[in-house]
Chains A and B, each alone.
Chain A
Amino acid sequence: KAGVTQTPRYLIKTRGQQVTLSCSPISGHRSVSWYQQTPGQGLQFLFEYFSETQRNKGNFPGRFSGRQFSNSRSEMNVSTLELGDSALYLCASSDRPDLNEQFFGPGTRLTVL
């Protein structure tokens, strides 16, 4: 089985722009979670989708949003980018309703200039 794939792998944007990141989970996995990883804060949970419904949401501003499609693929969007949004954005999928055993993708490295 192919692993979790994320596109693009690297992205450079300027302040004020918006960005959309994509995640394709492992085939058959219905839960997709998104995380932001920075050296200062570590891995922080953004949101989680299960069967196209957002089940959990982390403590991030409304500029961060996401969605999941019927084929379980997911996108996250960040509007009005700020310098502090520079981070590695990780997507993880699970084939179980619980979130404790997740499989991570390689991440998208976003740099905001």
Chain B
Amino acid sequence: QKEVEQDPGPLSVPEGAIVSLNCTYSNSAFQYFMWYRQYSRKGPELLMYTYSSGNKEDGRFTAQVDKSSKYISLFIRDSQPSDSATYLCAMSVTGNTPLVFGKGTRLSVIA
């Protein structure tokens, strides 16, 4: 079993839809949770960063962490064609341990 599982998609939604992206993990020691966005032929860029359980909101993006279920989510409201990208979840045990990434979910938002 991989440490971090993420559905690769592709996920195709109409513009304006609410998008839900998810990851599950097996290592209960993970405490830091991140979402990165990667456009084609670009490196990943950090979108959201949360510590432990709870919710964090930033504009149209909301990150949720449920440590009891070992499950994290990223919600995108009012999705736009510019949101079309691959979304990678990442997590770490401490600030000084390497990030463990999911394989990414490819999202297409259709105008």
Contacts and interface: CB of A to CB of B under 8 A. Distances in A.
A48 B45 CA distance: 18
A112 to B, nearest CB: 19
Interface string A90-113: 101000111111111111000000
Main secondary structure of the interface of B (DSSP, over half): loop
Contacts of B45: 103-104
Contacts of A104: 36, 43-45
Interface residues of B, number: 24
A43 interface: yes
Contacts of A105: 43
A106 B42 contact: yes
Interface of A: 4, 33, 35, 41-45, 48, 55-56, 58, 90, 92, 96-107
